[in-house]
Chains A and B, each alone.
Chain A
Amino acid sequence: MSGKPGFNVGDELAGPVRAITAQRIEWYDSAMLSAATNELRQVGSNIHTDEEFARSEGFATANADGMIMTNWCSEMLVRAFGMDYLERGELRTKYIKPANLGVLLHVRGRIRRGDAGSRTATRCTRSTSGAKTSTARSSSTATPKSTSPGIRRPSARLRNAHPMVAQPSPPFVDVRRILEPRSIAVIGASDQPGNLGGETVRRLLKFKYPGRVSPISRTAATVAGLPCFASISELPEAPDLAILAIPADGLMAAIRECADFGVRHGIAYAGGLAEAGGEGVELQRALVALCREKDFVLCGPNCVGVINATTPVAATFSTALQEMDALRPGPISMVCQSGGIATTAFSMVQQAGFGIRYLVSSGNEAVVDFADYLYAFAQDAGTRIIGGYLEGIADGPKFVRALEEARARGKPVVLIKAGTTGATARAALAHTGALVGEDRVVDAILQEMGVMRVHSVEELVDRHCCCSPAMRARSLPVPAWV
């Protein structure tokens, strides 16, 4: 059943995530007085602004005016429904508990009905020390003729659901050995022209990867001058990373062999999986199941690999590196669901004279998703600026948690989010198999999390360079691509 055009029953709405502060209480109370008198006013003492007075009236401490939360719920509905809400909407809010100073509130909603009532259940939830309780609960309609105007208790599913943000730490995948492998095996390498494994070996050597590189080939004796091994199990020890430069139909066997030998991390270049539909979807599903069973951390498939410009590690077949003699290290880390955009952005940043720390082409993200890399970048001491190209979000709360980590560590995040229109959404589905999600919801999340959303690779690179410490230190002019 569809909801309001553009929404489906069950869709989540993301509202603001804000803390109750004395400043916000004062803003609201003063604004209310100003709006009532048509002149700038300043609030005086009341239970919201005066702690002593609040205690004398039976409260534990000063607390927020409930209308602050109602307004934050209303803000979410304005974003989602625009004039439909302003002209025909309805918002009913009950204040369940005082929202005291310091609590962090999360506003979120879910489309519960898709008929003329188009009902949305919204909650303003607080989290303190991991415990979450409702502070205000609202129901709203964005189209007329709600047949049941009373507040309904949210469904058990909604009551038990985690809020959009601040879940107990979601299980981020540890990707350090993908970004910083101490030894690498390249499976499917040869010196044949166009062989992706052979290209990868040559990139690793060209950019002076300091660890051991082991080409794996059933037929070749050497690749780029390095001796080959017939199988991964013939290596003297398990490498940190296996690069799977083989077709899709060989991935299952290769991953099983790697995992059985003790390899825990891999990068798969092959396309023809979920993005291709049909049997590719089934193959990717089987791949995910196998990786989970074997505890194998896989980047891709359908990707161009990973570049670490610091170590350096050029674990990629990207032709963008052909014209470069050296990788310029720097504080910018990027993850892109498109390999083409990843390498284009990488080249532009390098040509502009700025450095990259990590560049990840995440591809179909069968096992490791966008949020895992974001989280790793947020925690990485060498990363100061985070960027990315996003087609779809696999796990909303996890994605938000990763952005929270970046924000908490003071690292700006610049993202391109594709799929604004139906056409680009279809393109994204064909490209990496990503379901792009409702753009307005994504936009609200990005805005709330302080992410700089940009709409082109040029803009992405501009923002990165502008945020770079090198730009500020050297007072360089802002680069621009016209």
Chain B
Amino acid sequence: MLGGYISDLEKGDVFKPVEYVITPFMCSEYAHGTEETSEYFHSARNPAGRQIRPPTMIHVDKMRILEVNCDKEKRIAGMKGPDARVHYEYHAKHHSAAYVGEKVVVTGHIVDKYVKRGRPYLWYYLEVRTSDGRLVTTYNDLTVLRYKVEGDR
């Protein structure tokens, strides 16, 4: 169910898309925060000739789309949900580089939701395309919605 907590999301939920323009600040700040010093992400003075969005920023796109689709739990805005979630699996496939100045559109849906060994898992699928339709990244993400198992509470 969209509009609630992240833990309220259900299999088949389709996210309202998010779009934004990639800025130099986003790329260099994210790269800086991970100690990634490659010039690809800090300026246009690299073999590509343009500043590139770090490929792992797909995870930020997940945060963006959750922010828009889950009204009761907004990590970027500082609104917490009932339980701490844990990232379990990251799987990004890159189809092209996204450059500073390009507008990108993030779409996605919930592939599955299940319980394993007492812990609820949520499987997201996201796609990032440029506004003219070029596929940038496809992304599968598996998150443990609650780290504590029921018996621990």
Interface of A with B (CB < 8 Å)? 16, 18, 24, 27-38, 40, 44, 46-47, 53-54, 57-59, 65-68, 70-72, 74-75, 78-79, 82-83, 85-95, 149
A32 to B96, CA, bound (A): 22
> In chain B between 25 and 73, which residues have their CB closer than 8 angstroms to a CB of chain A?
25-27, 29-30, 32-36, 38, 40, 47-48, 52, 54-57, 59-60, 63-64, 67
CB distance from A175 to the nearest CB of B (A): 35
Q: Mark B109-153, 1 if CB is under 8 A from A, else 0.
A: 000000000000000000000000000000000000001110010
Contact assessment for A95 and B29 in the assembled complex, using a CB-CB cutoff below 8 Å: no
**Given A57-B147, A70-B56, A92-B91, also A36-B29 (CB < 8 A):** no
A95 pairs with B47, CB closer than 8 A: no
Q: Is the beta-carbon distance between B63 and A91 smaller than 8 angstroms?
A: no
* Chain A residues positioned under 8 Å from B91 (CB to CB): 90-93
Task: Say whether A89 contacts B147, CB under 8 Å.
Answer: no
A32: B residues at CB distance < 8 A: 30, 33, 59-60, 63
Q: Do residues B89 and A92 form an inter-chain contact, with CB atoms below 8 A?
A: yes
Instruction: For B76, give the chain A residue with the smallest CB separation.
Output: A36
Q: Which residue of B lies closest to A141 (CB)?
A: B93
The 9 closest A-B pairs by CB, nearest first: A31-B33, A71-B34, A58-B148, A57-B84, A35-B30, A92-B91, A90-B93, A66-B87, A35-B26
Residues in B whose Cβ lies below 8 Å from that of A31: 29-30, 32-34
Asked whether B56 lies within 8 Å of A67 as measured between CB atoms, the reply is yes
B13 at the interface (CB under 8 A from A): no
Inter-chain contacts of B8 with A (CB < 8 A): none
Contacts of B52 in A (CB 8 A): 86
Q: Assuming the A-B contacts A33-B76, A38-B23, A57-B83, are A87 and B35 also in contact, with contact meaning beta carbons closer than 8 angstroms in the complex? A: no
Tell me, rounded to whole Å, the shortest Cβ–Cβ distance linking A247 to chain B: 50
Binding site for A on B (CB under 8 A): 20, 23, 25-27, 29-30, 32-36, 38, 40, 47-48, 52, 54-57, 59-60, 63-64, 67, 76, 78, 80, 83-84, 86-97, 147-149, 152
Which residues from A are CB-within-8-Å of B23? 38
Inter-chain CA distance A65–B89, complex, in Å, is 12
Per the bound structure, the CA–CA distance linking A31 and B88 in Å amounts to 20
Task: Return chain B residues, CB-CB under 8 Å to A90.
Answer: 91-94
CB-defined contacts of A46 to chain B, threshold 8 Å: 80, 84
A sample of 25 inter-chain contacts (CB < 8 A) reads A28-B34, A31-B32, A32-B59, A32-B63, A34-B25, A35-B27, A35-B29, A35-B60, A36-B76, A38-B25, A54-B84, A58-B149, A67-B34, A74-B54, A74-B56, A75-B34, A75-B36, A82-B47, A83-B48, A86-B48, A86-B52, A88-B94, A89-B55, A93-B91, A95-B89
Are A74 and B55 interface neighbours, CB within 8 A? yes
* In-complex Cβ contact of B35 among A18, A38, A59, A85 (8 A): A18
Assembled-state Cα–Cα distance A35/B25 (Å): 7
Q: How far is the CA of A68 from the CA of B20 in the complex (A)?
A: 24
Contact B90 A92 (CB under 8 A): yes
A37 to B86, CA, bound (A): 22
Residue of B56, B87, B92 with most partner-chain A CB within 10 A: B56
User: Of A24, A33, A57, which one neighbours B148 at CB under 8 angstroms?
Assistant: A57
Find the A residue at minimum CB distance from B149. Answer: A58
Measured between alpha carbons, how far is A71 from B36 in the docked complex, in Å?
8
- Residues in B with CB closer than 8 Å to A40 are 29
Is the pair B33, A36 in contact by a Cβ cutoff of 8 Å? no
Chain A residues near B83 (CB, 8 Å)? 57
Minimum CB–CB distance from B29 to chain A (whole Å) comes to: 5
- In the complex, the answer to whether B40 meets A78 with C-beta atoms within 8 Å is yes
What is the chain A residue whose CB lies nearest that of B27? Answer: A35
- Chain B residue at smallest Cβ distance from A93: B90
Nearest neighbor of A79 in chain B, beta-carbon distance? B38
| Chain A residues whose C-beta falls within 8 Å of the C-beta of B90 in the assembled complex | 66-67, 70, 91-93
Other-chain residue from A47, A89, A94, A149 in contact with B84 (beta carbon distance below 8 A): A47
Are A37 and B76 in contact (CB-based, < 8 A)?
yes
Supplied contacts A24-B35, A35-B57, 12 more A-B pairs, CB within 8 Å: A32-B30, A32-B59, A40-B29, A54-B84, A58-B147, A66-B88, A67-B87, A75-B38, A82-B40, A86-B55, A94-B88, A95-B86
Interface centre among A31, A46, A66, A92 (most CB of B within 10 A): A31
Partner of A58, one of B78, B94, B152: B152
Residues in chain B near residue A53, CB distance under 8 A:
84
**Bound complex: CA A34 to CA B78 (Å):** 13
Residue pair B87, A87 in contact (C-beta under 8 Å): no
Residues on A with C-beta less than 8 A from B38 are: 75, 78-79
CA separation between A79 and B35, bound complex, in Å?
13
Indicate if the CB atoms of A27 and B33 lie closer than 8 Å.
Answer: yes
Return chain B residues, CB-CB under 8 Å to A92: 89-92
User: Would A16 and B35 be within 8 Å (CB), given that A32-B30, A87-B96, A94-B89 are in contact?
Assistant: yes
C-alpha gap A318/B126 in the complex (Å): 66
Chain B residues closer than 8 Å to A75, beta-carbon distance: 34-36, 38
Alpha-carbon separation in the docked complex, A35 to B64 (Å): 10
**How far is the CB of B103 from the nearest CB of chain A, in Å?**
13
Once the chains are docked, how many angstroms separate the CA of A94 from the CA of B144? 12
Query: Can you name the residue of chain B whose Cβ is closest to the Cβ of A86?
Result: B97
Q: How far is the CA of A157 from the CA of B35 in the complex (A)?
A: 30
A95 to B87, Cβ gap below 8 A?
yes
Partner of A30, one of B33, B96, B97: B33
Known A28-B34, A83-B97, A95-B89; judge A71-B56 contact (CB<8 A). Answer: yes
When the two chains form their complex, are residues B26 and A65 in contact, meaning their CB atoms are under 8 A apart?
A: no
Q: In the complex, A86→B58 CA distance in Å?
A: 12
